[in-house]
Amino acid sequence: MSTVQSGVPKLGARNTRQRTAIVNVLQELDTFASAKTIHQALQEREIKVGLTTVYRTLQSLAEIKAVDVLHTTAGESLYRHCLSEHHHHHLVCTECGRTEEIDGGPVEAWARTVAEAHGFSLTGHDAEVFGLCAECRGERED
């Protein structure tokens, strides 16, 4: 089994073999993936980690902001290791899943302004951008 590389999301207090294996799979996938997809990747690598452990580990990594979480319209949570430690958003290809971390730019000011206009104190927001990457767009045009 490979060891955790530098730049890896923090593992938290419980740095177990299973937790390290899950983080390594997240790094290798480099796209948003479901707990089931991550579990399957572990099985393919002949790493024994139960699906319940995968779910619990992903939840605990999300709580310490060591992974990004994307909630689909179908209600599924998808996970991806963070490349950046600062607040960011994602550009996600709806065809292949390729993901780019992007700066929020104007979204940050807009969220603050809208919250204040309605008497809210902004505590957070989610904004993801979906589309087709150049490669997938090119395949559709062929």
Residues flagged as binding site: 87, 93, 96, 108, 125, 133, 136
The contacts of residue 132 (CB under 8 Å, 6+ apart) are: 93, 94, 95, 140
Beta strand 89-93 with 128-131 is parallel
Residue 71 φ/ψ, nearest 5 degrees: -100, 120
Q: Is the pLDDT of residue 140 over 70?
A: yes
Q: Which residues participate in the annotated binding site for Zn(2+)?
A: 93, 96, 133, 136
Binding residues for Fe cation are 87, 108, 125
pLDDT 10s digits, 45-74: 999 999 999 999 999 999 888 888 988 878
Read off the pLDDT of residues 99-130 as tens digits, 9 standing for 90 and up. Answer: 888 888 888 889 999 999 999 998 888 788 88
DSSP category for residue 122: P
| Number of other CB atoms surrounding residue 131 within 10 Å | 11
- Other CB atoms within a 10 A radius of the CB of residue 137 amount to 12
- pLDDT the model gives residue 5: 38
pTM score, whole prediction: 0.71
Q: Which domains does the chain have, with CATH numbers?
A: 1-83 (1.10.10.10), 84-142 (3.30.1490.190)
